[in-house]
Structures are given as structure tokens and as C-alpha cells.
Amino acid sequence: MTRSLYDLDPGQLEALVAEAGEPPYRARQLVHWLDDRRQPDPRAMTNLPRSLRSRLSERFAEAGLALDQHQAGDDGWTHKFLFRLPGGDAVESVLMLYPPAGSRPEDDWEGGPRGRATVCISSQAGCAMGCTFCATGQFGFTRHLSAGEIVEQVARVSTLLPELRPGPGAPDHLTNVVFMGMGEPFANQDATWGAAYRLHQGFGLSARAITISTVGLVPGIRRAAAEPLPVNLAVSIHAADDATRDLLVPVNRTWPIAALLEAVRDYVAATRRRVSFEYALMDGVNDDLDQARKLGRLLAPLRIPRSGGHAAHVNLIPYNPTPGTGFSPPSKSAVRRFRDTVAASGVPVSVRANRGVGIDAACGQLRTTAGRTGRRVLPLAEGAP
């Protein structure tokens, strides 16, 4: 079954229009709608003959994402979407709008001189990694998304964006895509990379506007080092010693911190690109200054070859409460002290502004309450039986 029209390659689209008795240029028109217009709904493809439109929409009636719920938060600057997938499962995507610098001084977020519109997309329904602090992880894994289903989230949010803008100061088109929604992108590598290439080649997003975040799956980091598309890599580290990280990120038992950092070092050596390290700060768990100093010591030696500049950037995320996990956010002063201690090691560090907390759209708060109950499956180390 075709999951999404975005899963069809140009050859398949040509075969499809030929089957309908239409000339080959109709396939190019279809690609124009899918990629340039980011329109996945055949009924809206107005320059295609009516017969082809209805044939396509009948044939693919079961395919594609259906918008099931939409919630706005942060005065309309954050939007959460629940998309129903073919087969009945569901994923969430989040749109975060950032005004141009200086235009909303009351907020602690801003999007540079021209503003920014970032969509946070899911790569799986649920997640099998079981991180103990993450709502998605607690829910378990339901299924992988296809490349087309990942791309279609971006298409759907793009076409919704103009009507959702909270005011004329807000950006009117998508500028960034982050693979930071539900799921572990490197547990679904082919679909993730397929989507990343389509977003670049088809949707015209620059590779630097795309960020893939991983919990630290070493084979995935090695593949990222070899892929020609220079997207940004983010690594969720969350602790600076294995004992603490084991408690938070079960996959640390397969690829402990030393193995993870070795893969990142090789990635930096191969690509000369910076890597961001995400660190969700939890009260009394990983927010003590000893962890901050250790983190600095681990990351300060990561340098860009030749230039010698720091290759690591730490992104601190004050924990977003998720019921039932038993973790809680640190105080503002604990966040400041942790940040200052990391900064003292020379490693660039920033605190991520919390977005979407009021609508459960913030990092780690996404869950498939509307889908099936998931299960946990941990990946095995390379070479393991």
C-alpha cells in the first residue's frame, strides 16, 4: 500500500498518469504540486484534468495524513497537529514561529533578523528507546513512518502556515525542519534520509535548515558522517557519566558515552561540522555542577579540524513536566549555574526557550494517546547476535 503520495518516485508517478491515459507532462505537474506547492491533496491540483484528480483521490483515498486535531499555544506562536496515519496510528508535529529579533521583547525567543518558522516532525509513531523521562518513550513504539509520511508532515504544516500566522510580524513560510518530534530518526534511517533528501531536493530547503536529533545510536551517527547531505546533527546526551545516563537513556547500555563520543569525534573529523548536544535538565537528577564540569571536560576537546574551534554546542532544555515520570524541572537559578559552569569550560552553551508547554507540545511531551499502545524494542549493538 502506498502510504503517502510522497512515497512515489518520478517513475511511479509517470506510470500512474500513463495508466490514466494522460501524457507524461502530467507527472511533472504532479511533482510541481507535491514539491513546489507542497500540496498532497489531488483534489486541490487545479491544473490537472478533473478526471485525473478524482482518479488519484479515489486510488489514494486511504493514503496520506489526515489532520485530526490542531491546538494553538503561546498566543498563536506555537501550533500542535495530530495527524492520523493510514492504518489508524497517529503522530504529532509542532510548528514554532519566531518573530524577527526585537519585535516581541516580552518573549525570550526570537528568530534572527527575519524571523523563523520551524516545524518539528515525527519519524516514528511512538518510540522504542524507552527514555525514562520522555512521554513518547514511555508510551512505546507503534510503527515506523515511511519517508513520504515524514515529508507529508512538512507539506501539510507548510500549507496551513499562512492561515495560522498570529500577526503580520510572523514569518509566512517554513524556514527550518527539525526531526525532534516522536520517534528516533536513526532507528528508521532509510525513511529519515529519504525524507531529508526530498526536503532538500524537492522542497528546496537548504541542508543547514534541517536538523536530525538522535538519542545516540552510533550506527546512525556513522551513516550521517558518510551521507553527502550536510544536515545538522543533534545528540541527546542528558548526562556526563554512564551511571546517570543509564538511568535516563536505556540505549546508553548499548552505546555508552565513550562509544558515542568516539562516533561524534569521527563525524566531526569527516564533516568539519558542529554538533549540538541536547541536555534536558532535571531537578536533583542531572543538574548538579559536578555533571556540568564533567560535561565540559567531555566536550571541550571536540574541535573542528584545522580551525580548532569548538565542535560541540550544548543546548540546555529545562525539563518539561510529563506526568508519571517522577522527574521535575530545575529552578531557574540551577539552570543558570549549570549553564555558567559549562560555559567556564569554553564549550558554547545556550538554554532553549520552552515552547508549547501549555498545549503539551514541548520537547518530550508528544505522545500517541490517540493511537495503539506501543511496545519497547531496544536496538542491539553492532556485531551483537
Q: Which parts of this chain interact with ligand SF4 (CB under 6 A)?
A: 127, 129-131, 134, 136-137, 183-184, 215, 236
**Looking at beta carbons only, is 111 or 371 nearer to ligand SF4?**
371
DSSP assignment of 26-38 equals HHHHHHIIIIIS-
**Looking at beta carbons only, is 40 or 126 nearer to ligand SAH?**
126
**Looking at beta carbons only, is 157 or 215 nearer to ligand SF4?**
215
The verdict on 134 binding ligand SAH (CB under 6 A) reads yes
Mode of pairing for the β-strands spanning 116-120 and 176-179: parallel
Phi-psi map region of 324: left, alpha, beta (phi>0 left; psi -120 to 50 alpha): left
Kindly give, in sequence order, each residue whose CB lies less than 8 Å from that of residue 46, ignoring residues fewer than 6 positions away. Answer: none
Compute the distance between CA of residue 130 and CA of residue 277 in angstroms, rounded to an integer.
19
Choose from ligand SF4, ligand SAH, none: what does 99 bind? Cβ within 5-8 Å by kind: none
The verdict on 287 binding ligand SAH (CB under 6 A) reads no
H-run or E-run covering 52: helix 50-59
Compute the distance between CA of residue 221 and CA of residue 185 in angstroms, rounded to an integer.
11
The verdict on 180 binding ligand SAH (CB under 6 A) reads yes
Catalytic residue among 92, 152, 184, 278: 92
Binding mask 321-340 for ligand SAH (x = CB under 6 A): -x------------------
Kindly give, in sequence order, each residue whose CB lies less than 8 Å from that of residue 235, ignoring residues fewer than 6 positions away. Answer: 213, 214, 216, 221, 260, 264, 275, 276, 277, 278
**b (16+ CB within 10 A) / e for 258-293:** ebbbebbeebbeebebbbbbbbbbbeebbbbeebbe
Choose from ligand SAH, ligand SF4, none: what does 232 bind? Cβ within 5-8 Å by kind: none
SS3 252: helix
Q: What nine digits make up the cell of 113?
A: 533578523
Residue 134: active-site member? no
User: Cβ of residue 144: shortest distance to ligand SF4, in angstroms?
Assistant: 13
Task: Using CB positions, name the residue nearest to ligand SF4.
Answer: 137
Alpha helices, H only, 166-279: 189-201, 218-226, 242-248, 257-271
Among 175, 176, 213, 341, binds ligand SAH (CB under 6 A): 213
The verdict on 138 binding ligand SAH (CB under 6 A) reads no
Considering CB under 6 A, how many residues would be counted as binding ligand SAH? Answer: 17
The verdict on 319 binding ligand SAH (CB under 6 A) reads yes
User: Cβ of residue 294: shortest distance to ligand SAH, in angstroms?
Assistant: 18
Choose from ligand SAH, ligand SF4, none: what does 278 bind? Cβ within 5-8 Å by kind: ligand SAH
Give the chain's length. 385
Kindly give, in sequence order, each residue whose CB lies less than 8 Å from that of residue 223, ignoring residues fewer than 6 positions away. Answer: 186, 189, 193
**Looking at beta carbons only, is 253 or 297 nearer to ligand SF4?**
253
Pick the piece of the chain touching ligand SAH (CB under 6 A) from 33-41, 188-196, 268-276, 314-322. Answer: 314-322
**Looking at beta carbons only, is 59 or 274 nearer to ligand SAH?**
274
Residue 92: active-site member? yes
SS3 24: coil
The verdict on 317 binding ligand SAH (CB under 6 A) reads yes
For the beta carbon of residue 44, count every other beta carbon within 10 angstroms: 13
User: Cβ of residue 307: shortest distance to ligand SAH, in angstroms?
Assistant: 27
Catalytic residue among 120, 127, 134, 363: 363
- What does the binding site for ligand SAH look like in residue numbers (CB under 6 A)? 127, 133-134, 180, 184, 213-215, 236, 278, 280, 317, 319-320, 322, 363-364
User: What amino acid positions are annotated as catalytic residues?
Assistant: 92, 363
